[in-house]
């Protein structure tokens, strides 16, 4: 068992598709929250394989894409400060802020370093005791515990020059906000697999209970997505609405208790700004009082700059699932992965980038 090729077997995919085609009677719209799921769906052409009754829309589950320009501007401002090294996951580099991007800042002489892991940022801090290292804490519940661990490790190793700009986002609150907005009628939710590996399946229960929207936690391979759609169609046709786990090899109802413990030790919920959705209560994480000395927002005097959104960009609407990349006038013409206008074209998991790569959205 290698946990990859086993979950890509085409004869099993065919079996699931046949079962979905037989069961699905009611026209439904399912949302895949997570950008990783969007990539699998486009890569295998799953939308085209599903019966006409099953419509799939992409949600806001791309942390790079939902980072507000005001927050991105803070990261760029930090990179301009003397003695500061900004360490970040690679996808952030090309995202256009109000006036610039981290990549442009780097080209202009700022010390911006791409890292694969928070562990690498700690190493940079260790090698550069005379510099301040600011790690951009971007990601959902999957990533936040790794950054919590890095803060605790920095404390253990007495690294006094390691800081985190905490721009983390939490998934269940934003789904609540999306459902409350009522712009989109959803019949089922493909819940994010690796967020759920940390938080478990229980935090999704309010969606099934209070909103009557069935939820199934999915993995990221071809069979995972099809199995998840099959389970959602099954619930919808039976008139049930509950939370189920398709990705059982990686997700338990209670999540990863150790990861949750570290995350809750270091961070606490706070309001957060989402691109396209504005401020969502309790949907962000900030460093707790005991760990405030690691907080880049408090350690550095970041001057706010007026924020601007790129003209014509509809990333906000795409992130809410009310528009698709095909609806955007800039898509594939002005806005390409080489010269992205909006963040959904930058991140490899953004809807626009995935659409461009797999040739979806050019029809119109």
Looking at the Cβ atoms of 137 and 214, the one nearer to another protein is: 137
Which residue from 332, 324, 329 is spatially nearest to 57, judged by alpha carbons?
324
Distance from C-alpha of 295 to C-alpha of 151, rounded to nearest angstrom: 10
The pair phi, psi for residue 64, each rounded to 5°, is -65, -45
Which residue from 135, 132, 159 is spatially nearest to 146, judged by alpha carbons?
135
Residue 289 C-beta: closest distance to another protein, Å: 22
Residue 19 C-beta: closest distance to another protein, Å: 6
CB 344 within 8 Å of CB 352:
yes
Residue 306 C-beta: closest distance to another protein, Å: 28
Residue 212 C-beta: closest distance to another protein, Å: 26
Given the rule CB under 8 A, which residues bind another protein?
1-4, 6-7, 11-12, 14-16, 18-19, 22, 34-36, 61-64, 89, 91, 116-120, 138-140, 142-143, 145-146, 149, 152-153, 192-195, 197-198, 220, 223, 227, 230, 246, 248-251, 256, 258-259, 262, 347, 349
Looking at the Cβ atoms of 299 and 345, the one nearer to another protein is: 345
Phi-psi region of 181 (alpha: psi -120 to 50; beta: other; left: phi over 0): alpha
Dig out the tokens for 123 from the structure.
Answer: 């190493």
Looking at the Cβ atoms of 65 and 335, the one nearer to another protein is: 65
Looking at the Cβ atoms of 26 and 258, the one nearer to another protein is: 258
Looking at the Cβ atoms of 23 and 293, the one nearer to another protein is: 23
DSSP per-residue string spanning 268-308: EEEEEEETTTEEEEEEEEEE-GGGGGGBHHHHS--------
Distance from C-alpha of 33 to C-alpha of 232, rounded to nearest angstrom: 14
Residue 256 C-beta: closest distance to another protein, Å: 5
């Amino acid at each position: 068992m290698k946990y990859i090729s086993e979950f890509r077997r085409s004869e099993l995919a065919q079996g699931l598709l046949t079962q979905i085609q037989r069961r699905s009677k009611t026209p439904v719209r399912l949302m895949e929250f997570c950008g990783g799921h969007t990539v699998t769906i486009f890569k295998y052409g799953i939308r085209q394989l599903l019966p006409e009754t099953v419509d799939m829309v992409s949600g806001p589950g791309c942390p790079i894409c939902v980072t507000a320009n005001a927050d991105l501007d803070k990261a760029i401002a930090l990179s301009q400060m003397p003695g500061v090294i900004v360490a970040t996951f690679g996808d952030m580099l090309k995202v256009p802020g109000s006036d610039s991007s981290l990549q442009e800042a780097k080209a202009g002489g700022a010390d911006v370093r791409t890292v694969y892991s928070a562990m690498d940022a700690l190493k940079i801090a260790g090698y550069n005791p005379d510099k301040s290292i600011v790690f951009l804490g971007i990601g959902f519940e999957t990533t936040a515990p790794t950054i919590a661990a890095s803060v605790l490790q920095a404390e253990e190793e007495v690294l006094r020059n390691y800081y985190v700009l905490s721009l983390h986002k939490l998934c269940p609150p934003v789904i609540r906000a999306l459902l409350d907005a009522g712009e989109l009628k959803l019949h089922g939710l493909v819940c994010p697999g690796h967020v759920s590996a940390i938080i478990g399946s229980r935090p999704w229960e309010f969606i099934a209970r209070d909103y009557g929207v069935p939820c199934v936690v999915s993995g990221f391979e071809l069979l995972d997505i099809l199995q998840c759609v099959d389970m959602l169609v099954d619930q919808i046709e039976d008139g049930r609405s509950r939370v189920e786990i398709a990705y059982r090899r990686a997700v338990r109802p209670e999540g990863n208790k150790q990861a949750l413990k570290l995350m809750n030790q270091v961070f606490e919920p706070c309001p957060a700004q989402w691109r396209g959705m504005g401020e969502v209560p309790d949907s962000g994480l900030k460093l707790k009082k005991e760990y405030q000395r690691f907080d880049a927002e408090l350690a550095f005097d970041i001057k706010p700059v007026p924020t601007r959104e790129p003209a014509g960009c509809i990333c906000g609407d795409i992130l809410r699932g009310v528009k698709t990349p095909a609806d955007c006038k800039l898509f594939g013409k002005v806005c390409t992965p080489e010269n992205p206008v909006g963040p959904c074209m930058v991140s490899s998991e953004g809807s626009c980038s995935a659409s461009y790569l797999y040739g979806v959205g050019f029809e119109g």
